[in-house]
Each structure stands twice: as C-alpha cells, then as structure tokens.
C-alpha cells in the first residue's frame, strides 16, 4: 500500500539532515528597511507561503548545520527579534551603512569563533540547506579562506556582477551602480551567499571603505580583499537561479512566493496527490496530504492541516488547522479548526468553524454553519442551518433552516439532540435544551422545553382554515 503522508518543510525537497555543529557559525543580514518594498514592515518579515522571509533563511542556515545563527537587525529590530524568537543570537545595526558594516556589527559575537562563518542576506527566501552545506563542504575540501555561490542569469539587473581574472578566479564583485557598461553585460552574478574564514573576515571588515556609488561599506569588497591577502577564494556556479532570488520589491516577493508554492505543490504531487491546477493551489508548509487525495482548483490549505487519502478538496475551498478524514469531500466550503471523520461531506457553501467535529458519513449542505459542536455518524444537516455549541447524535436529520439559539446576549448555552431524531425545518431551539433520541420536532416549532425520547414536539401556532375567505376578499377589492 502506498502511504505517502509527508509534510513539506520550508526547505522541502532539499532538506539536508546533518547534526548541527558548533564549528559552523552563521550570519544573516536583515537590518535593512527594504526601501523598495514601500512598506512599514521590515523587508525580512514579509511572508512567502505564510512564513517571514528571514525565518525561511534562518531555517535553511540551521538546516546546513549552524546551531545558532546570528541575525543582524536594524530597522524595527524589536519586531524582527520578537518574530524570530530566542533560537537565534542578534546583533544590532543602528544605521544601515551597508552589508559590510552590517556584518561588522556581529564582530563581538563572532570574535571567539575559529572556523568558517556563513553569511547570507535575509531576503533570499528560496535558499536551501543543501546549497549552503555545499559551500561549507567546498570551503573545507579546498582549504579556502572564502567560498561563495554565483549563478548565471539573463536578467542580471540589480545583482553584483562577478569579475573573473584571466585564470578564471573571482577577482572582484562589482555592484551594478558601480559597474562600467561593459561590466554590466556580465551575466554571472552574486547571490551574496558566502562562507568566510571567520577570523580573516573579522580582520577585513573594519578595513572596508565606502568610496563607491552608494557611499556604503560593501561586504562584496571583502572577497577581493581575501584574494589581495593571498587567501584562496572558490566560487561555485550553481545552476538553479531561483534559489538565490533576492527579494527587493513586492513583485519579486510575489514571484518568490509563486516559486515556493510550486515547490510545495510539486512535492505533494510526487507523493501521490492529484493537484488539478497547481497555479491556483495554495498549500502551507505544515500541511500533510495522503496519497490519492485530490485538490481541485482555487483552494487554500493552511496551518496544521491533515488530509487523508481519497479526500476531495475544492474547488473554491479554504481549510485551516483542520483534519479531513479518508474519502471526505469538501466542496466550495470554509473549514477552520474543524475535524471531519471518514466519508463525511460538506458543501457547497458550508462554514465549519472552530470546534466542529463531524463523525463518519455526516452530510453538511449549503449555507450550513456549525461551531463548537459534535455531530454523530450518519447525521445530515443539508440546508440553511446554524448549529452552535451542540451535541447531535447519530442518524439524526436536521431540517432546512434549523437554528440553535445558543447565545442569550451574555452567555453561550448548549443544545443536545439525541440519536435517530428528526428536527423539522425552520425550527428554533432555545438553548440550553435537550431533544431526546428518537424524538421529532414539528417543522416551524420554537422549542423552549426539553423534548423527551420518542416524543413529538409541536411548538407553533395552530393553523385555522376559513373556508371561502380568500374568494370573498378578492370580490370586495
Ligand atoms: C546585495 C549585494 C549584491 C548581490 C545582492 C544579492 C552588497 C553590497 N551587494 O545587493 O552584490 O547581488 O545582494 O541579492 O552586498 N543589509 C543590512 N544592513 C545594511 C544593508 C543591507 O543588514 O546596511 C541587509 C538587508 O537587510 C538585506 C541584505 O543585507 O537582507 C542585502 O541588502 P540589499 O540592500 O538588499 O542588497 P542588494 O542591493 O540586493
Ligand atoms: Ca537584496
């Protein structure tokens, strides 16, 4: 039996499993405001597939074996710290004077560190642990003082260009704003992902100048300086430019999110899930989906959600933090913090709110809202109902338009409905109220007394027929 229940981690497919080693340090530069984002939020906190970009970078760095990355924060640094939590160390860059200056701000935290330090920007959300790990490995294998990644792109705009010498070694990185028109033609660019010998970097950082087009201290200049000092620099050309995509504006954010979404969706497809239209399917990192489930177009599945085999989800569906059992169907519906057991169905236009538990083979139809309620096996609420704070037994029928009045303006009250009972259409049940098993409630009743087992409750005005009255009325008009 194929049993492909698998969550996609942020680094998804490429997650590298490796015991974290204290001999690897990591530095993530995330102090910039991200002016081009035109946002009050620091750039690193903008989300890709529901996770802040800088958090994705932290996870990739940790996955590469760095136990406690150091994050350099600046613009709204408190918010960045609060979001990322205490599993990282932090350095503060009060004024954003450039990437070289940002790295220098971590000097105190790094000064005791012998060995390599990985340096990455906080705005490359698609980075994988595998790539970072490869840079560490090259560093160690080659006895380098610095290793770095490069990639070749037909759209080099905005990236530092890689200038190589006659022997093919990296001589310098030239920022676009400082590049000659000839250098701008270079298609090999700098993703700003480096591994340095930590002590060499710490010697170089205070010596960097800022006589360049932006008046900034560039970390990129450290590479040329390592070479000038006779250190070996190894640049590896990686062939997946997506991974190094730097996000500087909202359009690039949308593009990065699209690529990440495709990675996640593809992983589920490879695990045996039918994804009818990947471009309109949004699945969060922590969602687990078993094989042979089908995800229809225009569907968002978020949070800690589990979808069992054979389930059909969508189209036009939003599910968050929920469990959907084997063979269930969720059709054009909204499901939030709810559980559906095997074979149950909802939709179109059902609203399953927090605390809803549908037993096996429950049927919930259009415009039915359920909140904080347990519904027993085989029970149906097929049309236009509100069931709140209720326990409903098995094989019971809830008619169209049934309302549990659970709120008196101050407190919430529970409704109990037994097994094999029948609540007629448009009945109003004023909680707290119990309707026994096997009982029936006549359509249109206002139920303000408990109903014993197997009884019929009729709580409505008695109908009177006046013979000939309508005809007489018409005659008078
Ligand atoms: C940088 C590189 C460029 C590379 C590109 C890759 C430099 C000088 N340039 O350019 O070669 O192609 O990344 O995406 O390094 N930051 C700080 N403090 C600062 C300035 C920046 O912490 O004073 C942080 C930012 O928050 C960001 C990262 O460093 O996460 C990169 O800064 P950004 O301004 O985006 O640099 P780029 O112009 O993209
Ligand atoms: Ca950038």
DSSP string, 436-465: -TT-EE-TT-EE-S-B-TT-EE--SPPP--
Q: What does the pLDDT look like over 376-407, one tens digit per residue?
A: 999 999 999 999 999 999 999 999 999 999 99
Q: What does the pLDDT look like over 181-219, one tens digit per residue?
A: 999 999 999 999 999 999 999 999 999 999 999 999 999
308 pLDDT more than 60: yes
**DSSP symbol at 3:** -
- Cα–Cα distance between 189 and 150 in angstroms, integer? 6
Domain 25-244, CATH? 3.90.550.10
Q: What is the pLDDT of residue 23?
A: 87
Report the predicted TM-score, pTM, of the whole model to 2 decimal places.
0.89
15 pLDDT more than 80: no
Q: What does the pLDDT look like over 322-357, one tens digit per residue?
A: 999 999 999 999 999 999 999 999 999 999 999 999
- Cα–Cα distance between 445 and 462 in angstroms, integer? 11
Query: Which of 477, 444, 474, 475 has its CA nearest to residue 462?
Result: 444
Ligand 1 centroid–CA 122 distance in Å is 9
With beta carbons less than 8 A apart as the criterion, state whether 276 and 293 touch. Answer: no
Residue tagged 């990236």 (tokens): 159
Q: Write the residue with the smallest CA distance to atom 28 of ligand 1.
A: 121
Q: Give the pocket of ligand 1 (CB within 6 Å).
A: 29-32, 43, 72, 74, 93, 96-99, 101-102, 121-123, 159-160, 173, 175, 189-192, 218-220, 246, 248
Q: Write the residue with the smallest CA distance to atom 10 of ligand 1.
A: 159
- Cα–Cα distance between 178 and 214 in angstroms, integer? 8
Contacts of 474 (CB under 8 A, 6+ apart): none
The number of the ligand 1 atom at minimal distance from the alpha carbon of 33 is 26
Ligand 1 centroid–CA 248 distance in Å is 9
The number of the ligand 1 atom at minimal distance from the alpha carbon of 98 is 23
- Cα–Cα distance between 317 and 315 in angstroms, integer? 6
Ligand 1 centroid–CA 210 distance in Å is 14
Q: What is the pLDDT of residue 7?
A: 39
- Cα–Cα distance between 61 and 90 in angstroms, integer? 15
**DSSP symbol at 292:** T
The number of the ligand 1 atom at minimal distance from the alpha carbon of 218 is 8
pLDDT band at 33 (very low <50, low <70, confident <90, very high): confident
Nearest-ligand number for the alpha carbon of 189 = 1
Q: What does the pLDDT look like over 77-121, one tens digit per residue?
A: 999 999 999 999 999 999 999 999 999 999 999 999 999 999 999
What average pLDDT does range 437-454 have in this prediction? 98
Q: What is the pLDDT of residue 16?
A: 38
**DSSP symbol at 431:** S
76 pLDDT more than 60: yes
> Domain locations in the chain?
25-244, 273-457
Ligand 1 centroid–CA 147 distance in Å is 18
Q: What is the pLDDT of residue 44?
A: 97
Q: What is the pLDDT of residue 8?
A: 44
- Of the chain, the percentage scoring pLDDT greater than 70 comes to 95
The number of the ligand 1 atom at minimal distance from the alpha carbon of 123 is 30
pLDDT band at 9 (very low <50, low <70, confident <90, very high): very low
- Least confident stretch, 2-11, 160-169, 295-304, 441-450: 2-11
Handedness of CA 54, 60, 65, 67 (dihedral sign): positive
Mutational pocket test of ligand 1: of 43, 101, 121, the residue with most ligand atoms within 8 Å of the beta carbon = 121
Q: Which CATH number fits domain 273-457: 3.40.50.1110, 2.160.10.10, 1.10.150.120, 1.10.1060.10?
A: 2.160.10.10
Enumerate the active-site residues.
383
Q: What is the pLDDT of residue 38?
A: 97
């Amino acid at each position: 039996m194929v049993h492909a229940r698998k969550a996609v981690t942020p680094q998804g497919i490429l997650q590298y499993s490796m015991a974290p080693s204290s001999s690897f340090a990591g530095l993530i530069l995330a102090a910039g405001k991200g002016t081009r984002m035109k946002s009050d939020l620091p750039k690193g906190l903008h989300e890709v597939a529901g996770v802040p970009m800088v958090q994705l970078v932290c996870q990739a760095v940790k996955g590469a074996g760095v136990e406690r990355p150091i994050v350099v924060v600046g613009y709204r640094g408190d918010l960045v710290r609060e979001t990322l939590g205490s599993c990282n160390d932090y350095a503060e860059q009060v004024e954003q004077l450039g990437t070289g200056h940002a790295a220098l701000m971590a000097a105190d935290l790094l000064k005791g560190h012998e060995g390599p330090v990985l340096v990455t920007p906080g705005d490359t959300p698609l980075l994988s642990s595998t790539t970072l790990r490869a840079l560490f490995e090259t560093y160690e294998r080659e006895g380098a003082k610095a290793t770095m990644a490069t990639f070749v792109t037909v759209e080099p705009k905005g990236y530092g260009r890689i200038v190589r010498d006659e022997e093919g070694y990296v001589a310098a990185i030239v920022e676009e704003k400082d590049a000659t028109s000839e250098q701008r033609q270079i298609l090999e660019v700098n993703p700003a992902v480096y591994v340095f010998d930590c002590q060499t970097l710490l010697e170089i950082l205070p010596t960097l100048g800022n006589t360049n087009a932006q008046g900034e201290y560039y970390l990129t200049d450290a590479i040329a300086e390592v070479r000038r000092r006779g250190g070996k620099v190894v640049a590896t050309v990686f062939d997946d430019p997506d991974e190094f995509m730097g996000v500087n504006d909202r359009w690039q954010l949308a593009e990065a999110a699209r690529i990440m979404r495709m990675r996640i969706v593809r992983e589920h497809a490879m695990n045996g899930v039918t994804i009818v239209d990947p471009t309109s399917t949004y699945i969060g990192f922590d969602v687990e989906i078993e094989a042979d489930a089908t995800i229809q177009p225009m569907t968002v599945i978020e949070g800690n959600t589990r979808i069992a085999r054979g389930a059909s989800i969508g189209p036009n569906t939003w599910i968050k933090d929920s469990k959907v059992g084997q063979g269930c169907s969720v059709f054009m519906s909204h499901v939030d913090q709810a559980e559906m057991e095997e074979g149950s169905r909802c939709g179109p236009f059902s609203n399953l709110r927090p605390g809803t538990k549908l037993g096996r083979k429950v049927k919930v139809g259009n415009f039915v809202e359920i909140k904080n309620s347990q519904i027993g096996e085989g029970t149906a609420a097929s049309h236009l109902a509100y069931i709140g704070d209720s326990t409903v037994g098995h094989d019971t029928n809830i008619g169209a338009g049934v309302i549990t009045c659970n709120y008196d303006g101050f407190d919430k009250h529970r409704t109990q409905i037994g097994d094999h009972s029948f609540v007629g259409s448009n009945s109003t049940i004023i909680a707290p109220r119990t309707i026994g098993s096997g009982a029936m409630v006549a359509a249109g009743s206002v139920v303000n007394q408990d109903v014993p087992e197997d009884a019929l409750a009729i709580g409505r005005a008695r109908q009177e027929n006046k013979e000939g009255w309508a005809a007489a009325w018409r005659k008078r008009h």
